[in-house]
């Protein structure tokens, strides 16, 4: 993975994108994907849809969601403390003391999610997770008027955590769910574009919105693109750290390679073609068994129009929905390589009927 790719991922992380407010990151994505496609558009929901070889009858869609968790200012008290609603699914116990960025019209300002010091909590309360509606953001002002001038009701915020490098190809950041997935399909598009003389399909890149609040963008984008084949890329849980169960979630680890799902939402022929692409490239992969649904955009893409031959490729990720999600650049690189090889092997004779 070259440093220019990591710089693009970092640029996405810096650009806030809580569900419903994805415009800053989508601008970054539009600028990047233009290099590898023939046309780019943005639909009324905010999905970015780009096409390589758009006139081809056989359409393949590569999709990931660009939205992240966030906060929406809902009420400001007389002392200037900001009370918020959460955008997406949070564990309240991970929030007290977290620094956040309030994304104002004049740029980001820093705040802190407040909580009474442990010294002042009763013995009973010390062992309890806080309630979300008891939490507030402190931006260091002293009045409602001062707070309203900076961050009126309706202002969004995100955790302040940014991308950092750890050991063994590991990165840590907020919002790797699912900006690492967008990074993966962007890398796949770059590699496909570099070999477009081999391409025998039309390929559609989709950076979808509002996954965290109901898989919305993927549904409308897939209806618009009308692909025969679609590969969604998201993150998935790992079981390589304390407090997890391989019996419940399978054996998934960082640096173990891309994760390929199997189950009712997955077209068995597309699954096998992804396995073939990985094997031919010597890429180790991991299998995620999903007997009912995947809880990803795959589930809605599959049932658009008359049905889509869908697959799900995942980036292993520790500590999902915290401010310190961990993923591996090696896994991302290999997932992109596998997907690019898979797409370049498709043609009009590819059979997707189970």
Catalogue the active-site residues. 211
Contact 316, 253 (CB under 8 A): yes
Contact 335, 315 (CB under 8 A): yes
CA 199/CA 317 separation, integer angstroms: 31
Backbone angles phi, psi at 39, to 5 degrees: -155, 150
Q: Is the peptide bond before 178 cis (omega within 30 degrees of 0)?
A: yes
Relative to beta strand 325-328, strand 170-173 is antiparallel
Backbone angles phi, psi at 50, to 5 degrees: -125, 145
Contact 201, 343 (CB under 8 A): yes
Q: CA angle, 237 as apex, 249 and 260 as ends, to 5°?
A: 80
- CA 69 to chain centroid, in Å, comes to 10
Picking from 119, 120, 74, 129, the residue whose alpha carbon sits closest to that of residue 96 is 129
Picking from 176, 284, 285, 308, the residue whose alpha carbon sits closest to that of residue 232 is 308
CA 33/CA 48 separation, integer angstroms: 9
Sign of the Cα pseudo-torsion (177, 180, 67, 208, in order): negative
Helix (H) or strand (E) holding 37: none
Residue with tokens 């010091």: 117
CA 143/CA 333 separation, integer angstroms: 49
Contact 218, 206 (CB under 8 A): yes
What DSSP line would sit under 200-230, residue for residue? Answer: -SEEEEEEE---TTTSHHHHHHHHHH--SEE
């Amino acid at each position: 993975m070259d440093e220019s790719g990591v710089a693009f991922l970092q640029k996405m992380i810096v650009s806030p994108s809580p569900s419903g407010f994805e415009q800053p990151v989508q601008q970054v994505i539009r600028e990047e994907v233009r290099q590898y496609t023939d046309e780019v558009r943005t639909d009324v929901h905010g999905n970015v849809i780009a096409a390589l070889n758009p006139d081809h009858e056989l359409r393949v869609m590569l999709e990931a969601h660009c939205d992240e968790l966030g906060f929406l200012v809902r009420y400001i008290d007389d002392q200037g403390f900001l009370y918020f609603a959460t955008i997406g699914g949070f564990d309240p116990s991970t929030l007290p003391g977290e620094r956040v960025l309030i994304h104002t019209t004049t740029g980001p300002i820093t705040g802190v999610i407040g909580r009474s010091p442990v010294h002042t909590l009763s013995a009973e309360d010390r062992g309890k997770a806080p309630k979300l509606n008891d939490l507030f953001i402190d931006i260091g002002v002293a009045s409602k008027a001062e707070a309203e001038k900076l961050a009126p009701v309706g202002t969004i915020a995100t955790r302040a955590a940014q991308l950092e490098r750890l050991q063994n190809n590991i990165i840590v950041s907020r919002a790797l769910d699912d900006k690492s997935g967008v990074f993966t399909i962007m890398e796949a598009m770059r590699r496909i574009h570099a070999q477009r003389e081999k391409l025998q399909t039309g390929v559609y890149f989709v950076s979808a919105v509002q996954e965290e609040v109901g898989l919305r963008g993927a549904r409308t984008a897939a209806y618009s693109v009308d692909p025969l084949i679609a590969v969604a890329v998201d993150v998935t849980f790992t079981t390589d750290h304390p407090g997890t169960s391989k019996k419940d979630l399978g054996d998934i680890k960082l640096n173990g390679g891309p994760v390929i799902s199997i189950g009712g939402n997955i077209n068995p022929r597309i699954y096998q073609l992804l396995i073939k692409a990985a094997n031919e490239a010597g890429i180790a992969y991991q299998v995620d068994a999903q007997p009912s649904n995947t809880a990803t955009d795959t589930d809605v893409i599959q049932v658009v129009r008359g049905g889509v031959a869908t697959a799900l490729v995942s980036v292993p990720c520790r500590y999902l929905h915290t401010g310190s999600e961990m993923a591996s650049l090696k896994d991302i690189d290999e997932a992109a390589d596998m997907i690019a090889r898979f797409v370049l092997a498709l043609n009009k004779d590819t059979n997707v009927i189970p």
